[in-house]
Structure 1
Amino acid sequence: MSLIRTKHDVPMKQARVPTEVEFKRLVAVVSQGKYGPRNRMALMLSYFAGLRVGEIASLHWNDLVDGEGKVREQLRLSAAVTKGGHARVVFMNARLRRELEQYLCSLAQPPTLSQSVLITQKRRAFSANTLCQLMRGWYDLAGLGGGSSHSGRRWFITRLAHAGISPKAIMMLAGHRHLSTTQRYIDVNDEMMRAAVEAL
């Protein structure tokens, strides 16, 4: 058997998963400036809902808010906007709902339900690529090399796994079709291993 590894044998480098301290620093950096509320909202949708960047870019207010202006407890992603073309339900926890309420209050005027949640400087909806580039810049500003638009999704899946949530439930929340895909997202670092042995 050959011990020589080809480029096809080398696993792809995965997006960095911030520690708790790094996450707080990232949030502080992202929340600054004129577009701080918008940027913070994008980050929270990534971290606390596990959404892909394309899914975040595609969101309209009627996905997140009902006709009375109340933030929904769950949103439905259509097959048209998900990877693989499979519709799914995304549950929004209390923290994410509070973030959405604060973001709504920060807007100069109430948005229409058909309006995109995230708007560029040119008052247009973000493309997945533009939002991806913007997010990468946040990690650079926070001094978190290796971070990308996929970091929040990996953080979301990792936190669920380390909280003891059923692997099948995590797979469904992530919108994966196979458990092996979900397992590749789970990060293990020294902080987590230390906490694991302290729990014994």
Structure 2
Amino acid sequence: RVWFNESLKDAFYTTPAEFGLMLEFVVLLFAALSFARERELGTLEQLLVMPFSSMQIIIGKAIPVLLIAYSDFLLMLALIRFGFGLPIRGSLALLLLIAFLYMLVELGKGMVISVVSHTQHQAFLLVMLVGMTDFMFTGYAAPVESMPRILQWGANFVPAHHWLTILRSIMLKGAGVDVLWPHMLALFGLGVVILTFSLRFVRRALD
């Protein structure tokens, strides 16, 4: 018996992964273009002389990115549920919560890309580089278990790897916190590290 995909439909395997990867690229791209666009248009200096702290500027840039990304996430989730007929066997509330946490992690990465890029084109290329590197460790193209041991170890430090594992497990297996807690803990730990570094790096660049 084939578990979790008894009809052997390719969509059950590929669609959740593509859905998860699209969320990563949406957050990364919009976040990466936030400050890069201001610098390219020559309006970054005007933004910095306004009576706002660097943290307020970062929050002001982050909120639209999160709103757009979360709206996109909900629309894509509805599409794959009602358009493609994929089940959501686990907790929808847990999925929505972890998706928001993952967006914060990718937002931090995107903000760093944004402040080191001088043009929008540079930001776009860096997003592609980071995104494709993450893609190799997600298990979409090849199972992580079949990779060399050092790459398997490296995958533990890629947020997208944990995100896709959680996404597939909730949607297709109906897994809960009791099963997913190692990946949730890893994603939370990586999020704390990445967001802390990102905030300090971006604030230093703006100050």
> Which protein has the bigger helix share?
2
Q: TM-score scaled by structure 2? A: 0.31
